[in-house]
Amino acid sequence: MEWNGYTGNILNVDLTGEKISIMKQNPDDLKQFIGGFGMNCKLGAERIKPETDPFSPENFVIVGVGPLVGTITPGASRTAGISKFPATGAIANSCGSMSFGFHLKQAGYDHIIISGKAEKPTYLQIIDDHVELNDAKDMWGSDIVETTDFLWKKYGSSGVIAIGQAGENMVRGALTLIDKTSTFGRGGIAAVMGYKNLKAIVTQGTKGVSIAHPKEFNEAYKKLFERIRNYPQRQSWHEVGMLRSLPMGLMLTAQGQKKKARQVSDRFYLKKIKKRRIACPSCPMADKDILEIKEGEHCGLIQYTSSAINPFLMFTLKGLNTYDEVIKIFDLANRYGLDSLTLTALFELITRLHEQGVITEEMLGLKWKSDYETLAEVTEMIAYRKGLGEVLAGGWKEIGKKFNIEDKMLQVKGLDVIFDPRFMRLGTMEFEQVVNVKGAHVASGGSPTYATSGGSIERFKTHFKRMGIPDPAIKRIFKPLKEEMMVNVPRLTRYSEDWYALLTSMGLCARAQMNRFFSMENVTNFYNAVTGFDRSQEDLRIAAERSWNLLKLLNAREGFSRKDDKFPKEWFNNLKYGNNELQLHDFFGTTVITPTIANQLLNDYYDERGWNLEDGLPSQKKVKELELTPYM
């Protein structure tokens, strides 16, 4: 058959046997799962056996891109990777952007399936039809930036997924970076690569991507691009990026840290920190940052990041007082392949419990100071598993057992909480951390509750229509547990997750900058124009739901169920924030969430998904409806 949008090729890489082969996609599978995120779930379901040790040759790393990647569709640069994650024991996808997916598609492949374990450090080279496993001894021990720069110097313009020392040393939460910028693999996919002795994947393609209906595609493209170009806030997004969406200055001011707050202001960022903005292929919003320290001890440091927000979040730590210290610590974490969000949560917890006398210096094995020098030292110790770093590298579950602090940790299923709802209130991003199969992770893209508190009901309705939420579901979303809550966030979360699954299966960016321009209608139009498939909006909505349910079934085989979807106990305690005491409230701030109400909210989420209330797993009816019986 003629392949449009898709290449039709899946690359099989057996590291143990050093064998490389190509298999063909099944068009019927693509109609069921779309591609990218969705096909990753299917390919993983067929290969990852229940109770597989994440650190074993039998664990797989599967990387895939959707049908719109490689075209000029705005924001089509998303790469998804699925594996069994060592930090949580869950099977899940991680997603990142930049140029890797573009080059993979242009080289002629939709997915890479990696199995086995190499005998020695290796990297995978994919340049059009030339696919080869190469010796990586010269890169082993190098950080992610050094590795990426080495490969760029060797191969020129290309997409690179690389691991650092944390991945090599199998730190359970280690992540990779794509093109040393975009995070890929929160939860430990880099540790899986490290176990497999796979240092990097480099890809470069020149083949192009065939489009089934060029005229229809060009019409859809021009319409969307004009809308983006005329967006009133586009210039401010170009200037300050993600700083628009998260009020870091207000957060720090509320903590009584006004001096820090000034250092994360738009004005300070533009004058002192910003070098320039960069974009993924086909993205007209340029949401990534290159930062530069222009004075002081770390003068000359240049840092690539998916957003300046990422290092600025580390500013909440007591011991970091200046922006250059923050960027330097963040740079160390990125180079090693450590999750800066996890480091921030870890350092904050140790500092707080050390001050309370719960964790002593004898227990830590070092003199604990919440200052730049100590944090830099401990970051290195974790990456190399030295001293205290050996325990901290084991992940939250091991840390909790070692120091007997399980109830004090803000984590779900072994991943630390990203958004604390006591500060942000309980929107879909906050609630989903409890029910996400991966753990305390966020994938509810496009939700009207993102990074805001409250808002008009009319704004919600506009979002619902754009996301393609069916009318009967909208009525249920506007029937919350208590009338004063106004919106049923758990029911909305189901559709936010499905919307994210659809975008990521297509290969489209789920970030606020680009997500706002997509709708179920225009995504369907792009998909049909590119692939030549004649699929309805409802077909695609169901395909996304099918992928999310399959992911849930995979984790049911691993023993996960409702018992693991737990609100952290600490959420039910007041959060001291500056002079304020913050409680866990619903999104509109009208109701305090108690453990009893939290349990009822979980019921609403499971009910909206058609899952059993008793175990929180897909019902037999839902499995049959989505044609997932073979995966039970």
Q: What is the pLDDT of residue 258?
A: 84
pLDDT digits (tens, 9 = 90+) for 446-504: 788 876 666 678 888 999 999 999 999 999 999 999 999 999 999 999 999 999 999 99
Fold of 231-404: 1.10.569
Q: Is 256 helix (H, G, I), strand (E, B) or coil?
A: coil
Q: What is the pLDDT of residue 632?
A: 83
Report the alpha-carbon distance of residue 4 to residue 8 in Å, rounded: 9
pLDDT digits (tens, 9 = 90+) for 529-575: 999 999 999 999 999 999 999 999 999 999 999 999 999 999 999 98
Res. 255: pLDDT tops 80: no
Question: How far from 150 is each of 140, 143, 200, 553, CA to CA, in Å?
Answer: 12, 11, 11, 41
Angle at 151 between CA 10 and CA 18, to 5 degrees: 45
Q: What is the pLDDT of residue 446?
A: 73
CB 615 within 8 Å of CB 562: yes
Give percent above pLDDT 90 in the chain. 84
Domain boundaries along the sequence of the chain: 9-204, 231-404, 421-631
515 vs 126 pLDDT, higher one: 126
Q: What is the pLDDT of residue 442?
A: 81
Question: How far from 15 is each of 118, 209, 570, 622, CA to CA, in Å?
Answer: 5, 28, 43, 38
The number of residues in the chain equals: 632
222 vs 579 pLDDT, higher one: 222
Q: If we measure between CA atoms, which residue out of 217, 176, 202, 206 comes closest to residue 5?
A: 217
Q: What is the pLDDT of residue 452?
A: 61
Region class of 35: left (phi > 0), else alpha (psi between -120 and 50), else beta: left
Q: What is the pLDDT of residue 228?
A: 95
Q: What is the pLDDT of residue 37?
A: 98
Mean pLDDT of 377-389: 96
What φ, ψ does residue 276 adopt, rounded to 5°? -170, 170
Res. 340: pLDDT tops 90: yes
Res. 410: pLDDT tops 70: yes
Res. 18: pLDDT tops 90: yes
Structure tokens at 622: 């839902």
| pTM given for the model | 0.96
Least confident of 97-101, 249-253, 470-474, 613-617: 249-253
Fold of 9-204: Aldehyde Ferredoxin Oxidoreductase;  A, domain 1 (3.60.9)
* Torsion over CA: 426, 431, 432, 434 (sign): positive
CB 128 within 8 Å of CB 204: yes
Tokens 């001293």 sit on residue: 387
Top-tier CATH class for 421-631: mainly alpha
pLDDT digits (tens, 9 = 90+) for 93-133: 999 999 999 999 999 999 999 999 999 999 999 999 999 99
3-class SS letters over 427-440 = CHHHHHHHHCCCCC
State the average pLDDT for the chain. Answer: 94
Q: What is the pLDDT of residue 454?
A: 62
Q: What is the pLDDT of residue 453?
A: 60
Q: What is the pLDDT of residue 169?
A: 98
Q: If we measure between CA atoms, which residue out of 428, 448, 432, 452 comes closest to residue 440?
A: 432
Mean pLDDT of 49-61: 98
Confidence of residue 401 (pLDDT cuts 50, 70, 90): very high
Q: What is the pLDDT of residue 318?
A: 85
